[in-house]
Structure 1
């Protein structure tokens, strides 16, 4: 896998009436940056989500900024990690201490972080603690997620992702570790 996606990926959401996301992975001298935006319309809810996630050269999350625009106005969340300790909007967040990834719930882009960082071989799996950001309400809680890598198929990496709140889903990824298909949630348009 290379360290950069030169063209932003576009995903169509499968779990809402209308949803479209655009995201990219940018290599920087001291790590990686994920940039994305998403617009969702679903049964009385409509919002846009714009976020940036920073990771070091080992793909460990160092911070995230998420902004929501909805009928309730604009709201922002900032998370930062120093070592194993986290802050939420500048205040200590000990409930997140030890998390190594951030998962922004509205997008498949943040699944790239553990896929790249773990470097699993086919048949391997690993459980990891993540700071899971619910969208659009911006609540954050600690969640244990499991990634299992399967044999590649048709030139795509294959994984099963699972967590205790949502169940298990098959993921396929491109050579950059970006999601192509996320079962029941999102499918790559381009």
Structure 2
């Protein structure tokens, strides 16, 4: 797997009337940087968000910044982590202790983090605890997620993602571990 995508990945949302996301993964000093944006016009909500997530060379998250714009204005959330201990907007958040990954709910891009970090073989599963950031509310909470690597199909790696709040979904990824299809939620168009 390479360290970066040469062009941004673009996804169309399948779960709302209109939604489009764009994201990149690039090598950065001492790790990797994820940059993405998402615009959603749903039945009940309309928002745009932009985020940056930084990791070390082992794909462990060290920083996340999310900006959201809704009809109520713009808001921002900043998180920093070290050794599985997190601060949210400069305040220690012990409920997130042990979380190595950040899941920004508005985008398929952050699924790349555990896919790359875990290095699962077909048939292997792993439960992980992540700091999940809801968009557009910017609420952060601890969630247990399970990733299972499925058999390859049509030359693509596949994973099952599961969490207790949303159920399970199949993810198909490219050679960099970036989502191509997120069952029922997003499909890569570029």
Q: Pick the TM interval, shorter chain.
A: over 0.9
Distance across 2 between alignment mates of 1:114 and 1:92: 23
Q: Distance in 2 between matches of 1:44 and 1:149?
A: 34
Q: Using the TM superposition, give the Cα deviation of residue 96 of structure 1 relative to its aligned residue in structure 2, in angstroms.
A: 0.4
Cα root mean square deviation, aligned: 0.7
1:38-87 Cα shifts (integer Å, max 9, x gaps): 10001241110000000000000001000001111110000110112100
TM-score, L = length of structure 2: 0.99
Q: Distance in 2 between matches of 1:125 and 1:44?
A: 35
Given the alignment of the two structures, is residue 53 of structure 1 paired with residue 49 of structure 2, yes or no?
no
Segments of 5+ residues of structure 2 without an aligned counterpart are none
Aligned to 2:96: 96
Structure-1 separation of matches of 2:48 and 2:138: 12
Does 2:17 correspond to 1:17?
yes
CA distance in structure 2 between the aligned counterparts of 1:23 and 1:84, rounded to whole angstroms: 25
Query: Which runs of structure 2 are paired with 1:8-157 in the superposition (5 Å)?
Result: 8-157=8-157
Q: Deviations over 1:121-178 (max 9, x none)?
A: 0010000000000110000000000000011111211000000000000000000100
Q: Distance in 1 between matches of 2:45 and 2:154?
A: 37
Give the count of matched residue pairs.
190
Give the deviation of 1:29 after TM superposition. Answer: 2.5
- Moved >6 Å (runs of 4+): none
Give the secondary structure class of the aligned counterpart of 1:150: strand
SS in 2 for 1:27: strand
Between the aligned partners of 2:10 and 2:108, the Cα distance in structure 1 is 10
Question: Structure 1 stretches of 5 or more lacking a match?
Answer: none
